Amino acid sequence: MLSTLAVAGLVGLAAAAPQYGSGGGWPFKFPLSNGFPHLSPDALKAVQQQAHGTLPNGQLPSSIEDASAATFQLIAFNELFEVAFFTSLINNITSGVYDVGHGAAKQIILNALTAVQAQEELHATGANGILAAAGRTQIQPCEYVFPSSNFDDAIAFASTFTDVVLGTLQDAQNNFGQDGDTGFIPLIGSVIGQEGEQNGFYRVLGGKIPSQLPFLTRSAGAFAFSALNQMVIVPGSCPNSNVIPLPIFRALSVDTQNIQAKDQTLSFGFKANGTAPHDFSLIYINQQNVPVVQQPKNIKVSGDKVSFQADFPFSANLMNGLTISAVTKTAGPFADAPAVAADTLFGPGLIEIN
């Protein structure tokens, strides 16, 4: 058994270095050395061994509802990115680009990430397999760049996008319940649990408590799709992501850095791309609570950049963990994250506190 000291030594590891296979130098491209995303039977067996488990072996449905197809296309789109990210991260560690220590501490990290990378290959393969069995369009991989240049930033980014995934999979379960494809709800529940286990590990690596909230923040498919396109997708590199019937919002920047757990005023910005909206609202989505509506103040327009501020009412709502912010056309009221997404102009701005 690895020692407690080795586990404690994982917290706070970092190294400043360029990222291998992604980032400023060049994009990450598929296929992997094992052929993924097109795995042979033998390659699939090897991935399952690495993942410590198998793809579900039950009969796949020959037809699914349109909304279910869109949900699995988004899941495949995200899982392909995750495979790329964790493959790049492992390469950075094993090639020495990221210094994560040595001995037991390094091995804990590599063991965990190696399993995660294979598990994400199975998630992507499974989602596209469901689409194929139902005669729907499978999602092909894009090219990717990642906004991190050291190990700590990479793990923080992994935690944030996993938070968004955890919120979006709640939306997926809701969609399956509404359109009648209820058999997928337990499947997605199992993935939510797996992603939550991952994020507890990433949070501990970042010196945080493993579980951030009693009820995790809900998201919506359009927020996840927009965030991926804004942050990691090389423009024009996706062969068929256009079949996913979701909008890509224009970006909303959270300009305040190192946001603390207190009431404060935050700064935001977006590019107007022509005419700046005259009346808009800033919305915060946190936990399973009703979205918080704030009126922007100190609005300034400089060229095509609109900057503004909005109050962040942390204390009244205990807004720990992931908060999703968005600029909407109206002031609502909004019942939940999908209602906010339906009215969004710019977003998501992602805020992490814990």
pLDDT of residue 102: 85
pLDDT of residue 276: 67
Please, what is the average pLDDT of the chain? 93
Top-confidence residue, 25 or 16: 25
Distance (Å, rounded) from C-alpha 281 to C-alpha 275? 16
Look at residue 337 and tell me whether its pLDDT is greater than 50: yes
Task: Extract the tokens encoding 138.
Answer: 């499978």
Look at residue 8 and tell me whether its pLDDT is greater than 60: no
Which whole-number Å values give the CA distances from 238 to 124, 143, 271, 291, 336, in the listed order?
A: 16, 7, 24, 32, 30
pLDDT of residue 251: 98
Segment 309-334 mean pLDDT: 98
Look at residue 2 and tell me whether its pLDDT is greater than 50: no
pLDDT of residue 309: 98
pLDDT of residue 9: 43
Query: What ranges make up the beta strands (E) of the chain?
Result: 253-254, 264-271, 281-286, 292-294, 297-302, 305-312, 321-328, 344-353
Segment 34-52 mean pLDDT: 99
pLDDT of residue 274: 67
pLDDT of residue 278: 74
Look at residue 217 and tell me whether its pLDDT is greater than 60: yes
pLDDT of residue 13: 39
pLDDT tens sequence across 63-101: 999 999 999 999 999 999 999 999 999 999 999 999 898
Q: Answer whether 191's CB lies under 8 Å from 169's CB.
A: yes
Q: How many CB atoms lie within 10 A of CB 106?
A: 18
Q: From the CA atom positions of the chain, what is the Rg in Å?
A: 20
Segment 153-162 mean pLDDT: 98
- Contacts of 318 by beta carbon, 8 Å cutoff, 6+ apart: none
Q: Answer whether 331's CB lies under 8 Å from 283's CB.
A: no
26 pLDDT band (50/70/90 cuts)? confident
128 pLDDT band (50/70/90 cuts)? very high
20 pLDDT band (50/70/90 cuts)? very low
Above pLDDT 70, what percent of the chain?
Answer: 92
Segment 246-273 mean pLDDT: 97
Segment 147-165 mean pLDDT: 97
277 pLDDT band (50/70/90 cuts)? confident
Segment 292-307 mean pLDDT: 95
Distance (Å, rounded) from C-alpha 169 to C-alpha 74? 10
Task: Give the bridge partners for 321, in sequence order.
Answer: 353
Q: Answer whether 14's CB lies under 8 Å from 150's CB.
A: yes
Task: Give the bridge partners for 264, in sequence order.
Answer: 312
Above pLDDT 90, what percent of the chain?
Answer: 88
Look at residue 354 and tell me whether its pLDDT is greater than 90: no
Look at residue 6 and tell me whether its pLDDT is greater than 50: no
Segment 324-328 mean pLDDT: 99
